[in-house]
Amino acid sequence: MNSKHLMIAAAVVTAATAIVVGPAFAQEAAAAAPAAATSNPYGFVHILERGNPVQLSILAVLVIMSIGTWYIAVMKFLEQQRILTQAKILEKKFWTSGTLSEGIEKLPKNSVFRAVAEAGHKASQGGTTLVGLNDWIAMSLTRQLEDANGRLAGGVSFLASVGSTAPFVGLVGTVWGILEALISIGVAGQMSIDKVAGPVGEALIMTAIGLIAAVPAVLLYNLLIRRNKVITEKLRGFAGDLQAYLITKSK
């Protein structure tokens, strides 16, 4: 009987202890959690808040590179899509027209194909005393094609430049960060893992940012170049067909 009373008393004491100590332990754990979350003094936020002018300048250059890449890529993609849409209109309306002038009028005012057709039509009105009519038509169409290709290629080289230089720009930031870490270790006069791993890891963030700017630039550059080749072939095909038509008509 006494043992039963002792067991019951022990259980009551244990439960009371858990009720009293439990909330206090939970409060200590909750207070320790934010401290653990904010105990890392290194990272991207630290670079923004306490970075030196060199790091911030390199970061600004990489951000400008990335923004410029996406802006140019989107604008060039929309321009290419507009020209490809004009190529479909060309197939449906231009070659089904009764006359060349009528076909030109059916094309949109801003159509690059219309510019080529107008150049060919104007050249077919008469050559020069130095150049024959056929050669004059070919020269006029070639100049128009070169102008169109020049506009298509405009801005695309920026993506190639970003893709080839952004990793090295980020690497400069990494080297500078490692240099500062080594200098701080030398000044402190002692080496420990916390004094090396933190600053070096933070410095590597700049290399990562450089790669983040470079990889999309390379992929977008290849995409735009491939689409430019498709458009160029369509323009050359149209110019060749138009030249054959104009030469045949002039005979």
Place of tokens 């890529």: 73
C-alpha–C-alpha distance, residues 103 and 206, integer Å: 56
* Residue 159 near residue 227 (C-beta atoms within 8 A): no
CB-based burial label for 114 (10 Å; 0-12, 13-18, 19+)? buried
Place of tokens 């916390």: 194
pLDDT at 49: 65
Co-location of 21 and 125 in the same domain: no
C-alpha–C-alpha distance, residues 224 and 155, integer Å: 10
* Closest among 156, 145, 148 to 217, alpha carbons compared: 156
Q: Is 60 helix (H, G, I), strand (E, B) or coil?
A: helix
Give the DSSP letter of residue 124: T
pLDDT at 24: 43
Domain count, the chain: 2
pLDDT at 47: 66
pTM for this one? 0.73
* Residue 89 near residue 102 (C-beta atoms within 8 A): no
The b/e string for 195-210 (b: 16+ C-beta within 10 A; e otherwise) is eeebbeebbbbbbebb
Co-location of 32 and 95 in the same domain: no
pLDDT at 50: 67
* Residue 111 near residue 128 (C-beta atoms within 8 A): no
Co-location of 54 and 71 in the same domain: yes
Which phi and psi (to 5°) does residue 155 adopt? 90, -20
Co-location of 33 and 59 in the same domain: no
Co-location of 203 and 235 in the same domain: yes
pLDDT at 162: 95
Q: Where are the alpha helices (DSSP H) in the chain?
A: 2-37, 44-50, 53-89, 100-106, 112-123, 133-153, 156-188, 193-250
* Residue 241 near residue 120 (C-beta atoms within 8 A): no
Co-location of 35 and 46 in the same domain: no
Structural domain including 30 reads 1-39
* Residue 95 near residue 113 (C-beta atoms within 8 A): no
Co-location of 63 and 112 in the same domain: yes
C-alpha–C-alpha distance, residues 55 and 173, integer Å: 6
Co-location of 29 and 96 in the same domain: no
pLDDT at 35: 42
Co-location of 146 and 181 in the same domain: yes
Compute mean pLDDT per 10 residues along the chain, 251 residues long, and list them: 46 44 45 48 65 81 94 95 90 83 88 90 74 83 91 92 93 84 74 69 83 95 95 92 81 52
pLDDT at 248: 81
- CA distances to 12, 18, 182 from 8, in Å: 6, 16, 64
Co-location of 53 and 68 in the same domain: yes
Co-location of 98 and 163 in the same domain: yes
pLDDT at 72: 95
Co-location of 115 and 30 in the same domain: no
